[in-house]
A and B are shown apart, each in its own frame.
Chain A
Amino acid sequence: MTTAARVAAVVAKWCQADAADLTADTRLEDLDLDSLSRLEAALGLQREFGVSIDDTRMNDAETIADVVDIVETSPAKAADGS
């Protein structure tokens, strides 16, 4: 599975969407994401990819492609889980 597909699967879980309907250009504001959903998705992405995501970047993301970029450029999580 590509990074983009894995990102779509995680984001879809938090907005009750079908991952297959999410493309790189899908705008997050068009999805059913409330204020906490982006934080929940960020936690889910951290677990899925073993990275540490800056929640302010996640808050600023506009499209699925932006989220993929955040995942690919975030540092690996420290061994202690922080």
Chain B
Amino acid sequence: MTAVLIGLGSALPEREVGNDELAARLGVTPDWIERRTGIRARRFADATTPTSALAAEAARAALADADTKPSEVDAFLVATYTPDHQIPATAPLAAARLGLACPAFDVNAACSGFVYALATAAGLIATGARRVLVAGAETASTLTDPGDRTVHPLFGDGAGAVLLRAGEPDEDGALLALDLGADGTGAASLIAPGSASRARLATGTERPQPDPSTYYMAMDGREVFLQAVAHMTASSRAALDRAGLKPAEVDRICGHQANIRILRAVADELGADHDRLLVDLDRTGNTGAASIPLALDRARREGRLEGGHTVLLTAFGGGFTWGSALLRWPGTAQHPRSAT
């Protein structure tokens, strides 16, 4: 069976943080942030809105979008690199908020997590699951140093979710092709050592003390740009080859929303017009594994996605990891609210 997209939803925390609010503290201008990234604002979650709450809210919207009851879901995946806790995973917590009684687990492939989770869901559907709910959710603002002008303005919090059902490859909504990749030799270029096991080993297991200097995300922006453009382009081409499609046949490109300059460079490398890019980072920043479904939901609201459109998803993140997926956008038959 083929995975077919039948529901989409998203969730953002209430608090919007504009460039002007960050710029003064970071010793830059609002325009400096926007010119380098394309980002004008992002949302920051408060203490009552953990990653699991955002994941649940987006997933609830995706279920409602497809008129599907929680009892009909066979598996629930949350892609995140900012889980509520180390144990348990975020998916069971979000599942409890939704009243789901199905298998629930996290997928961590950093900013590529949503595409990896889609691939995992497609695998579950190929082996018998009928409906799989996939959320990407982050509170990425918790992982950036508020004083780091090269990283802090880039990230925001939010979640997006899709509901997939078992179907046929010729249906609108069908997942047409996937490509995934990873290269751990690039780990140091994008890393948040935090208080995970390696940091605890380093500080001794008797009374582990997280080292605050390693808590936040460190990023080599230049290297990440180079690798992101190269791998998102190559991965997009690999997915297109598997689907027997050419870049010119792609109607919309929904790339991971890290930086408008990466998205434009990937479009240029593929020979695609920039107007085919779906952009959400201007108002949400880099929301990690949430960015692709957030951008899809906005594009749908704004009427930029039509039934039958060939949509390319492509992502790159820490690891390094990357992944691409091609799908045919669902029409009204698969996706009731697309028409409204």
Q: Judge whether A55 and B226 touch: CB under 8 Å.
A: yes
B225 — which chain A residues lie within 8 A by C-beta?
36, 39
B261 touches A36 (CB 8 A): yes
Whole-angstrom distance between the alpha carbons of A81 and B240 in the complex?
15
- Which of A36, A44, A82 is within 8 Å of B268, CB to CB? A44
A47 at the interface (CB under 8 A from B): yes
Q: Taking the complex as formed, is B130 at the interface, i.e. its CB lies under 8 A from any CB of chain A?
A: no
Let me know if A25 is at the binding interface, CB within 8 A: no
Cβ 8 A contact of A47, one of B35, B226, B237, B269: B269
What per-residue 1/0 map shows which CB atoms of B207-249 lie under 8 Å from chain A?
0000000000000011001100100011001000000000000
The reply to whether A34 and B36 contact each other, CB–CB distance below 8 Å, is yes
How extensive is the interface on chain A, given as a class?
10 to 19
User: Tally of A-B residue pairs with Cβ under 8 A?
Assistant: 28
Q: Smallest Cβ distance from A42 to chain B, in angstroms?
A: 9
Do most interface residues of chain A lie in helix, strand or loop, or is the interface mixed? helix
Given A43-B229, A81-B237: A36 and B269 within 8 A (CB)?
no
B3 adjacent to chain A (CB < 8 Å) = no
Interface pair A35/B268, CB less than 8 Å apart = no
Nearest CB in chain A: distance from B225 CB, A:
6
A66: interface (CB < 8 Å): no
B269 contact set on A, CB distance < 8 A: 43, 47
Tell me the chain B residues, 259-311 only, with Cβ under 8 Å from chain A: 259, 261, 265, 268-269
With A34-B36, A47-B268, A81-B237 given, is the CB distance from A40 to B221 under 8 Å? Answer: no
Mark each residue of chain A from 49 to 74: 1 if its CB lies under 8 Å from any CB of chain B, else 0. 00000010000000000000000000
Describe B's contact surface by its main secondary structure.
helix
A39 contact from B226, B233, B237, Cβ within 8 A: B226
Note all chain A residues with C-beta closer than 8 A to B35: 34
Q: Are A35 and B222 in contact (CB under 8 A)?
A: yes
Interface size for B (C-beta < 8 A) is 15
Chain A's nearest CB lies how many Å from the CB of B335? Answer: 35
Binary flags per residue of A15-43, CB closer than 8 Å to B gives 1, else 0: 00000000000000000001110011001
Kindly provide the distance from the CB of A66 to the nearest chain B CB, expressed in whole angstroms. 19
For A35, list chain B residues within 8 Å (CB). 221-222
On chain A, the residues within 8 Å of B259 by CB distance are: 36
Residue of B nearest to A44 (CB): B268
Residue of A nearest to B271 (CB): A47
Contact residues in A for B261 (Cβ distance below 8 Å): 36, 40
Name the one of B233, B237, B265 contacting A40, with C-beta atoms under 8 angstroms: B265
Considering the complex of A and B, which 6 residue pairs feature the smallest CB-CB distances, nearest first? Answer: A36-B225, A39-B225, A43-B265, A36-B261, A35-B222, A39-B226
B interface residues, Cβ below 8 angstroms from A = 35-36, 221-222, 225-226, 229, 233-234, 237, 259, 261, 265, 268-269
Subset of 12 A-B contacts with CB under 8 Å: A34-B35, A34-B36, A35-B221, A35-B222, A36-B221, A36-B261, A40-B265, A43-B229, A43-B265, A55-B226, A81-B234, A82-B234
9 more CB-based (< 8 A) A-B contacts, given A36-B225, A43-B229, A82-B234:
A34-B36, A35-B221, A36-B221, A36-B222, A39-B229, A40-B261, A40-B265, A47-B268, A81-B237
